[in-house]
Amino acid sequence: MLPLLSDVNPSVERMQWSVAEYDLAATLESGQAFRWLPCSDGSWAGVLDGHWLRLYPVADGLAAERLGSRPSWDSVAEYLQIQMDYPAVLASFPQEPVMESAVAACRGLRLLRQPLWECLAGFLCSSNKQIIQIRAMIAALCRQFGDPVRVPNSLSVKQEVWSFPGPERIATATENELRACKLGYRAPYLREAARRVAEGELDLEGIRSLNLASARERLQTLPGVGPKVADCVLLFAYGFPRAFPIDVWVARALQELYFNPDKPPTLKTLTAFRDQHFGPNAGYAQQYLFHYRRVSYGK
């Protein structure tokens, strides 16, 4: 039986959402996701659920284009967190000059809700790396182990696109193959983490129902996953609103804005402060501090 023409050559479908205060560029560039590529027309091209997707900022919100019927528009809206109550999150921040300045500097910055494994693997590779290098590592992993993703025939610049490889695929890669993707000492960590997820030793979906402390504990049983990486996954993929990764930039921001700028506080001090100061949406506040420190007076 011949396949339907629409399956062989699916057409581009478009959807639009009305949403206020959504800075798509800041959101996709702010170091929470590593796979979005900027296009010359201001849109962003990427892959969701194994399928090509393009995102546009438009006058009163966001628009998206897909090829055929996937990814589902529901999954796109979930990924972008279009329905979340953004003003309520900002209102929950501490009423203080620091957070007011941070929000003023990057209003419209949002948190995504990413697929679990992709987010975990990405941040497992992120340790002691610059964002630009993390992007390169992830791109190499997808090119080596992902499946080819169909893109519209109409694309002027034919770009090759691959899906993000699942844990089953990463687990069967050799350590040297992973090192060839510039993972360095992270290669055996990622391979072992993939194996444990693929074989069901760690149930990523099951972590959704845990409280924050238990979820941290479970993720940190994986090699290469410590407190910072775990909180990135818990915030950017699971959506735990109080997860609050402290990396070098956030530590710098906390020190300069809340502590003695000349004497670095211990990580324990920063952790205690984080847990009592930023309220029910501390993770969101963290993303503002991170971006604020990087764009306004960082290097």
Site residues (CB under 7 A) for DNA? Answer: 30-32, 123, 126-134, 136, 179, 182, 184-185, 189, 220, 222-230, 232, 245-250, 266, 268, 286-287, 290, 299
- H or E element that contains 108: none
- Nearest CA to 193 out of 210, 175, 171 is that of 171
* Cβ distance to DNA smaller for residue 102 or 149: 102
Q: Which is nearer to DNA, 163 or 286 (CB)?
A: 286
Provide the CB-side half-sphere exposure for 132 (13 A, CA): 0
The minimum distance between CB 199 and DNA, in angstroms, equals: 18
- The smaller minimum CB distance to DNA, of residues 61 and 227, is found at 227
At closest approach, how far in Å is the CB of 290 from DNA?
Answer: 4
Q: Is 259 left (phi over 0), alpha (psi -120 to 50) or beta?
A: beta
| Smallest gap from residue 86 Cβ to DNA (A) | 17
End-to-end, the C-alpha distance of the chain in Å comes to 59
The CA distance from 170 to 251, in Å, is: 32
- Contacts of residue 184, defined as CB under 8 A and 6 or more positions apart, other chains included, come to none
Rounded to a whole number of angstroms, the minimum distance from the CB of residue 151 to DNA is 26
- Residue 145 structure tokens: 């182990």
Structure tokens at 206: 């099951």
Closer to DNA by CB, 67 or 207: give it: 207
Residues 6+ apart with CB under 8 A from 197: 117, 120, 167, 171, 204
Bridge-based pairing state of the strands 37-38 and 44-48: antiparallel
- Give the 3-state secondary structure of 73-107: HHHHHHHHCCCCCHHHHHHHCCCCHHHHHHHHHCC
Closer by beta carbon to DNA, 46 or else 245: 245
Tokens read off for 250: 């956030």
Angle in degrees, 0-180, between the axes of helices 227-236 and 282-296, rounded to the nearest 10: 110
Q: Which residues are known to be catalytic? A: 228
- To DNA, the closest distance from the beta carbon of 148 in angstroms equals 24
- Phi first, then psi: what are they for 70, rounded to 5°? -130, 150
**Minimum CB distance to DNA, residue 131 (Å):** 4
Based on CB atoms, which residue is closest to DNA, 50 or 184? 184
